[in-house]
Amino acid sequence: MKKHVVVIYPHPDDESFGAAGTISQFRAQGVPVTYLCGTLGEMGRNMGTPTFANRETLPEIRKQEIIDACKVLDMELRLLGYRDKTLEYEDRNEVAQNLKRILEEIDPSLVITHYPDHAVHPDHNALGAAAIEAVRLMDPNKRPTVWAQAITNTYIDDLGQPDVVNDVTDLFDKKMEAILCHKSQASGVIRSWSQNDEYTEDLKKQAKQRLGIEQFYTWKY
C-alpha cells in the first residue's frame, strides 16, 4: 500500500479530468492524497456556459471549484500560487526546489504529474518537468515513485504503451462529481461532446469511454 500520494498538476480541473478515479482508488484504500495545484487557472478562456464569470472574477471562482472538487475526492489541497500560463517562464530549478521542499515534508511514496513534452499545454509540460526534477534532486533512497501522465494525441506512438493502466469505471460517478465541480470548465468540455448541456445517460456513456481509463508511465531515473 502507498503511504501517501502527491498529485502535481498546474490547473484546477487537471486532477479531476486526469486522475480523479486513481485518487479515489487510493482514498478508498485509506491512502492520504495531497494535491499541489500550480495555479488558479485564472487565464482560462472558459467563463461558463452560459457565461457567469469574467477575467476579474474567474480566479476566485476557480479557487472555489478546486476546493469543492478536493472535498469530493477527499484529498488535501495546497495552492502553489504560480500564475496561469507563465509556468514555462519560471526558473525551472526554483520551481523544482520549491516542490522538493514540500515533497520532503510530506514524504510521499508516489507522485503523479504530467509527462513533460507529452502533455499538450505549456504549463502541463513545465510543471511536470519541474516535479520530475524535484524528485530527481531528492535523496535516491527516499525518492517516491513517479507516475507521469501523457495526453498528446501521439503519446503511445512516441512513448509506447503506458505501464500503469487504471480502469476507473467503477468509480466513475465520483470522478464525474469532481469534474462537475469545475463548472466554469466542465460545461464547455461537455458541450464539445454533445449539444445537450445536461449530464444525460448517453453523455455519461460517452464520458466513460473517454475518461474511464487513467494511464501513466513510471518515470525511470
- CATH number for the domain spanning 177: value is 3.40.50.10320
The total number of residues shown for the chain amounts to: 221
> Taking 70 as the threshold, does the pLDDT of residue 100 lie above it?
yes
46 pLDDT band, cuts 50/70/90, is low
pLDDT band at 14 (very low <50, low <70, confident <90, very high): very high
Which of 97-101, 161-165, 203-207 shows the lowest per-residue confidence on average (mean pLDDT)?
203-207
Which comes out higher in pLDDT, residue 110 or 207? 110
Total domains, the chain: 1
Check: CB of residue 34 under 8 Å from CB of residue 103. Answer: no
What local confidence, expressed as pLDDT, does residue 184 receive? Answer: 85
Residue 31 has pLDDT above 90, yes or no: yes
Least confidently predicted of 11-15, 41-45, 125-129, 162-166: 41-45
Q: Would you state the torsion angle of the CA atoms of residues 201, 204, 210, 211, taken in this order, to the nearest 10 degrees?
A: -160
Kindly list the distances between the CA atom of residue 193 and the CA atoms of 37, 169, 186, 210, in Å, as whole numbers in the listed order.
26, 18, 11, 10
Residue whose C-alpha cell is 480502469: 167
Q: How far is CA 9 from the centre of its chain?
A: 4
> Domain residues for 129?
5-218
